[in-house]
Structure 1
Amino acid sequence: MSAFSPRQMFLLDLACQPLAEAFRHLGYGVFLVGTAAERGEYRDVDVRMILDDKSYDKLAKTSSVEGMAFLGLAIGQYLASMTDLPIDFQIQRMTEANAKHGGKTRNPLGVRGLTNFRGDAVPEPNDG
């Protein structure tokens, strides 16, 4: 269970849509992880973009360690400005992400539509 209201989750998911679209060809996806994904109290909101190993290695090689760090900070600032949440964004290599954090909750971001945010007392849409 996430620590966010439906509105906060909608804004976070919406802010991640262009990120998921821009980097979709590089691997796995964008995820809400950590304490904010699991319970009510959190210091920051952990958002991770996990890339397949080959894509991560290629991006890291062409942009340098400093470039990867700056890219993470810049995307984190973008997400924070769009959501008003204290975002901690990182780009991770799939093998290391799975080795260190495999089995923990990963809530995919940037993939939902408006119907995922309907209220709990709203009737199902008509099919006809």
Structure 2
Amino acid sequence: MSTGMPAGIWLTKFGVIVADYFGHVPYHVGSSLDRKDWRDVDVRLILPDEEFTERFGDIFRSSETDPKLAAITLAFATLGQQMTGLPIDFQIQSASHANERYPGPRSALIEITQEP
């Protein structure tokens, strides 16, 4: 992703907030990892199947068909866009769904800090 240092820092901060809320690290995926002509920044939260089912139902459910999943997806996408200034495409997927359909590279959005 060639967004410059500040946007990259904010993207990581967004990832930390998502992880704090859900207890799972989100991933930066898709074309913005390795192409200069990317359209949006894909961020995926991959939940264990059991947890996804507990929160949203069927593991192959989509935010396009499930109002509860759509609401949380839109809320976090908007937060990410506001924090980073980037066109964030945020999605929550079950592990089975993500691993079956999207095997590409994933970059964990984690913050690494040094002890003083």
TM range (shorter): 0.7 to 0.9
Matches within 5 A, 1:69-84: 69-84=70-85
Note if 1:50 corresponds to 2:46: yes
| Residue correspondences, number | 108
- Secondary structure of the structure 1 residue equivalent to 2:25: strand
Note if 1:86 corresponds to 2:71: no
Unaligned stretches of 5+ residues in structure 2? 58-64
Q: Which moved more, 1:66-75 or 1:2-11?
A: 2-11
Distance in structure 2 (CA, Å) of the matches to 1:6 and 1:114:
16
Contact 1:3–1:41 (CA<8 Å) still a contact in 2? Answer: no
Task: Note the C-alpha offset of 1:114.
Answer: 5.3
Residues 6-28 of structure 1 show CA distances to partners (whole Å, capped at 9, x for unaligned) of 2211110012212111111xxx5
Task: Report the aligned-residue RMSD.
Answer: 1.8
Aligned identity (percent) is 30
Matches within 5 A, 1:12-23: 12-23=11-22
Note if 1:65 corresponds to 2:61: no
Q: Which has the larger radius of gyration?
A: 1
With the length of structure 2 as denominator, give the TM-score of the two structures: 0.84
What amino acid is the match of 1:73? Answer: L
Task: Note the C-alpha offset of 1:89.
Answer: 0.6
Please identify which structure carries the higher helix content. 1
Unaligned stretches of 5+ residues in structure 1? 116-128
Contact 2:18–2:25 (CA<8 Å) still a contact in 1? Answer: no
With the length of structure 1 as denominator, give the TM-score of the two structures: 0.77
- Secondary structure of the structure 2 residue equivalent to 1:49: strand
Task: Note the C-alpha offset of 1:5.
Answer: 1.8
